[in-house]
Chain A
Amino acid sequence: MDRFVLDFAHTLAGFMVLVSFMLLYQDRMFSLLNVFALQALILAASVAWQARVQDAPHLYVTALIALVLKAIIIPVVLHRVVVKLGIHRNIETVGGIGLTMLLGMGLVALSMVVMLKATAAADPLAREDLAFALSVVLLGLLMMVTRRNAVSQIIGFMSLENGLILAATGAKGMPLVVEISVAFSVLVALIVIGVFLFRIRERFDSVDIHALDESRGERQ
């Protein structure tokens, strides 16, 4: 395979990991949304590149979904939600940024070690893409754990899904069923989230999960 093909694919995947790190330390709502849109943009480019390299035109559909839905529609909608809820204030992070970044680096190292070892026999294009994809997934998880605010947890979850799509498109010839289902599930998830946001807003006038914690059934 052409050296350039590999390098470019890896560069894009690497950028996604980098943006995942950027997501970790954004402490303002609007910049968080913008960085997420950037990640979705890179994802779209990466998927389109895979479509070209693998000669798999159906992947262009996935790329288009990533571009339109994740890079444009969702950030715009969330932008309006944030304004409507009046929470463009700072987001608190648990444990501090330094510690979170260190944990993130540990996770990336872990995924490199695990995936590169496990996929020694696989073709190089899929191999390193998969390692990057796992890094993005784990960083998304980390973000969901460290954030307290409902909107930033949603962003964490969607960046995790970005990692999954990166992995799915890197696996050559994976049936289209799965990619569409992933995109579809994101859409459904968004509807669900929308419903929830609406209700949470209605009931608590806040989307801070802390407010939810206080209403636990058992603490009486």
Chain B
Amino acid sequence: MNPFPIQDDLRELAELAGPHGVDLAALGGRIRRRRRTRLAVASGAAMALLATGGWLLPGLLAGGSGGPVGPAGEVTVRPAPSGSSDAALGKLDPEARQVVELLERVLPAGKVSVLGARGLHDKGLASPLGSGLFEPSAAVEYDDGHGEALVDVDLSRWSNPDTTKSPFTCAVGQGEPKPNGCRTVRLPGGGVFNLSRTDALQGAWNAVWTGTYAAPDGARVVIQEDNAPSDKGAAATRPQPPFDFAQLQRMATSPAWKTQLAAIPAAGGQSRDTNTPFGPDGIGAIFYRLIPSGFTTSGYNGAFQPVQGNTMVLTDSRGKGSVYSTELVGAANTPAGLAAFRKDYPNAVRLPNGDWLGSKQVAGQGGPGTEQYWVAVQRGNTRIEVVALNSVGPTGPRTRATPVLTIDQLTMIVESPTWGSGG
């Protein structure tokens, strides 16, 4: 019996939504009005079918309307290719293709169809463990003649692995689900290999086995295999995933990964320190780590908002002040996005590397003497913006003579490569 039938429960729950209640006449009126307005304001803009990147923080802080002034549009995401291996490989960029080729090299003989891949410098969005950069991965459908199976690999580097946790041990932390099976072996040279096994439960989910090789230098290879060609919605094609412990260990510890792993910089590696004050918030953690030394920090907020932003209060001998950061990924490099950036930062300059950098000093909203420093960079389709105040919160009274970080310090933060290279 499935003790926690999420899907069924969600469907039952959804029924509580009731009928849709759409008034077509009223809705049509709204659409026509909006179309007229849009035509009057702009023409030829990118399809605004998807969410507009709103910059409520800047709007509020600057005393503006708070309305969306950011770029509109859709993040360009490369769809996972499918089909024959050769055809799919051809659609991948060279770095992603390298990862697939390495996976194919370590796989035992069998038919391989590429499902997708991410190269060393492909930028994903930040995760709790890193900025989204330097996380090469590949997923394939593998068939050794006994049934198709999903196999995928992730490569990463952990800057400071916690050896009390998986994969170094089979300890299960509080609140963490217990796998059906787990085994860790110490390898010559100091690395470990761990297999964590979740077995199939008929009618609920397929088997998922995860092999992790953690090298002494923090490099990590994770290979995951299913007993089905997809991890969702596909019937099991075989009783168990294709590879046993020894095979997974051999694949994960293969020297074939060496070059890729070596190319993952330690500075861009994943941190075990997900316990920054922002919790599991990649962007918050990045921001936190970029704060110059000499401050004590408090007043953290914005956890679980890894895309949008975070705030905290910095304190030094001259007083305290709030800082904010936001990151918007998506379409910042469209004409509309650039226009919005230059509107927000009339003094914006184009840097030699093609980025745009802007800054401004504006009066605060907290009364006499309050002031705000703003710096933003537009890099590819990513816009990063940081703000420093000489007050706690945008409407608080002045708590120090000048904002807690200088324009130069803010500039160093936004220009940090740890934010990634954009989309």
Partners in one complex: no
Chain A residues with CB under 8 Å of chain B are none
